[in-house]
Amino acid sequence: MEDILKIADKIIHNRLLIGTGKFPDKSLVRKVLEASQAEIVTVALRRVDADSADENILDYIPESCIVMINTSGARDADEAIRIARLGQAFGCGNWIKIEVISDNKYLLPDNTETLKATEVLVKEGFTVLPYMSPDLSMAKRLVDAGAGAVMPLGSPIGSNRGLKTEELVRIMVSEIEIPVIVDAGIGWPSEAAACMELGCAAVLVNTAIATADDPVATAEAFSLAVRAGRTAYLNSGIAVNESANSSSPLTGFLRNIK
């Protein structure tokens, strides 16, 4: 059976989601998306300028990709809701990454305001993917509110520190029925693979790709790592032993040679 990811009514084959911030040249965005074969891309609304061919990031995104507006800059639920509605009015569709941040130092999401925004936007027909601090109780509330997936952070935004919330994410994966997508902090393809080996449905990467020496090659590496991690999760079944277990016989060979 083909391994696919379903969010709302969309079938997703590539489990690497990519953000569009921090690229030194917007033309790299298209090259990165094509090299990685990513199908979902996040865009901050402030980068959407329909009146400017040079500044409108949407011009660099292949039509095959699902554009997910993120509510970057929102400090509370009301601002996030307003950004989502503006994005829809600009023709960006109804996929929304809720990002509500009132903490200016660590940029950690405000789970309570995120839940409020999710409840309103789901009722308005949006497909909502909330970015959140990993918390099982809040994740369950977001599920009840109708979120299409939950997106716990791996470590602070743009830090490239990796999956520092591993145990909390592991618990969420085991208890949440909708997709769990790690967002923020993933700095290396190996870390993306580790997320997938936990059973995460996908990962979202931006900074590690956009600021790499070769963003295109790095995006391809992340895509391969996500695929490898997912394959390992589905098929490996590796047992962990406390003691050594030789892969070849240790007795009876040399003593039989005369």
Average pLDDT of the chain to the nearest whole number: 89
pLDDT given for residue 57 in this prediction: 84
User: Active site includes 10?
Assistant: no
Structural domains of the chain sorted by starting position, each given as residue range(s) with its CATH number in brackets: 5-238 (3.20.20.70)
- Catalytic position from the list 26, 31, 97, 140: 97
pLDDT tens, position by position, 77-128: 999 999 999 999 988 889 999 999 988 888 899 999 999 999 999 999 999 9
For residue 54, pLDDT beyond 80 = no
Rounded to an integer, what distance in angstroms lies between the CA atom of residue 224 and that of residue 249?
35
Confidence of residue 187 (pLDDT cuts 50, 70, 90): very high
- Bigger pLDDT: 239 or 16? 16
φ and ψ of 153, to 5 deg: -75, 150
Confidence of residue 193 (pLDDT cuts 50, 70, 90): very high
Helix 215-235 × helix 189-197 angle, to 10°: 20
Confidence of residue 255 (pLDDT cuts 50, 70, 90): low
For residue 249, pLDDT beyond 70 = no
Residue 93: closest CA among 73, 75, 70: 70
